[in-house]
Structure 1
Amino acid sequence: MSKTGDLLSEAALTVYRLNGQFLGAGDTLAKPAGMTVAWWQVLSAVPDKPMSVAEIARLRGLTRQGVQRTADLLVDQGLAEYEPNPAHRRAKLLRPTAKGMAAIERIDPDLEALADRVVDELGLDGLKQVIEALKQLSAALDQVTRQ
């Protein structure tokens, strides 16, 4: 493989590992609140503004079907509810219930503590650089895979 191919492969493998680390940390954070990382990922998209399943899927980079299954589970568990969407009759909006907001708020202090520990390792500017690099890589992949 070429040097550029090796670099892109290394970037992908690093992101896959990072994704696994985030999922593991997310499960650890979500479990005491009675949630899974998948539930948290969907529910945390809507605390301030209800969204359709398709909007949540686009925001989180997930499939619409996967978000629909998770949203339905959140509703079944009383953590979220659907409300009418004035812009689209069939695409209802998902919003957290009081129980769902309490679960999100239960996770927040532990997330903040984890964030502080990561900043202790990388420094605030270091974490900002990582975020910017990841955003640039994501934008580049969007650009080159649209063709």
Structure 2
Amino acid sequence: MNFSKEDLARETSFKASRSGGKGGQNVNKVSSRVELNFDIEASALFNEEQRLLLKQKLASRLNKDGLVQVVCDEERSQLLNRQIALEKLYALVVKAFEKPKVRKPTKVSRAAKAARLDQKKQHAAKKESRRKGFDY
């Protein structure tokens, strides 16, 4: 990856609003809730292929304008909320570029097969012994 949090910060826009939750009277006066918007299409950090991948992976995060939206109102401080929102965006982008591990198909071991068959034989013998005891 050839980008950092600082690079992302340069290409994001922030909007502050009043936040609910803890803070007492402070909550009614201070705009500490932060809404971060990131435009994938306008970003100079990624090439066309990477933009398509980001749009696919972050489709559920896109708003009607096609912007990735991250909202944070965890802290009482607007500055802290901006930092947290930026970290969340960075984590989303990094996760979108991660390649999933290729699953290696495995076979059932010979010992496991033998154990299963042995268990089936025991179960069948138990049922057989019950059947022999009853003659109608």
Q: TM-score normalised by the shorter chain: which range applies?
A: under 0.3
Higher share in strand: 2
TM-score by length of 2: 0.27
Q: Which has the higher contact order (CA 8 A, sep 6+)?
A: 2
Higher share in helix: 1
TM-score by length of 1: 0.25
Larger Rg: 2
